């Protein structure tokens, strides 16, 4: 899979473990087992706010890896209830969130 162009290789990945292994990030399987969806959502959120550079696969790979490592670290040092990645956790805590895009409409 490392022989494929980055975007093609990423398209082949489906689990948090796949992503972590692909980017050669050491991880605790117990942390991932409990937080896999939260890690992937946080990763997606980070990337949506700061997309990878275009045209430089090496820089893009480093960018993707850094944000995945950050997302994993968020849950290795905290928990889903504290991090509130999904709306259900924000609503349960009384925190409501309106995306900036919704305000601009």
Question: pLDDT by residue (tens digit) across 57-85?
Answer: 999 999 999 999 999 999 999 877 766 66
Per residue in 10-20, pLDDT tens?
Answer: 999 999 999 99
Q: What mean pLDDT do residues 3-29 have? A: 95
As a whole number of angstroms, the distance between CA 38 and CA 34 comes to 9
pLDDT for 79 equals: 73
Q: Which two tokens stand for residue 16?
A: 């948090």
- Which positions ≥6 away from 13 have C-beta within 8 Å? 19, 22
CB count, 10 Å around CB of 39? 27
The neighbour count for residue 86, using CB atoms within 10 Å, is 14
Report the chain's mean pLDDT, rounded to a whole number. 84
Chain center to CA of 3: 23
What's the rounded Cα separation, in Å, for the pair 103 and 84? 21
The residue length of the chain stands at: 105
């Amino acid at each position: 899979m490392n022989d494929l162009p980055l975007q093609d290789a990423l398209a082949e990945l489906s689990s948090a473990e796949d992503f972590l292994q692909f980017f050669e990030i050491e991880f605790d399987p117990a942390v991932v087992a409990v937080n896999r969806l939260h890690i992937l959502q946080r990763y997606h959120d980070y990337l949506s706010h700061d997309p990878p550079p275009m045209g430089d696969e090496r820089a893009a790979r480093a960018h993707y890896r850094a944000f995945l490592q950050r997302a994993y670290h968020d849950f290795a040092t905290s928990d889903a209830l504290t991090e509130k990645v999904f709306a259900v956790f924000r609503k349960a805590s009384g925190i409501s969130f309106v995306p900036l895009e919704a305000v601009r409409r």
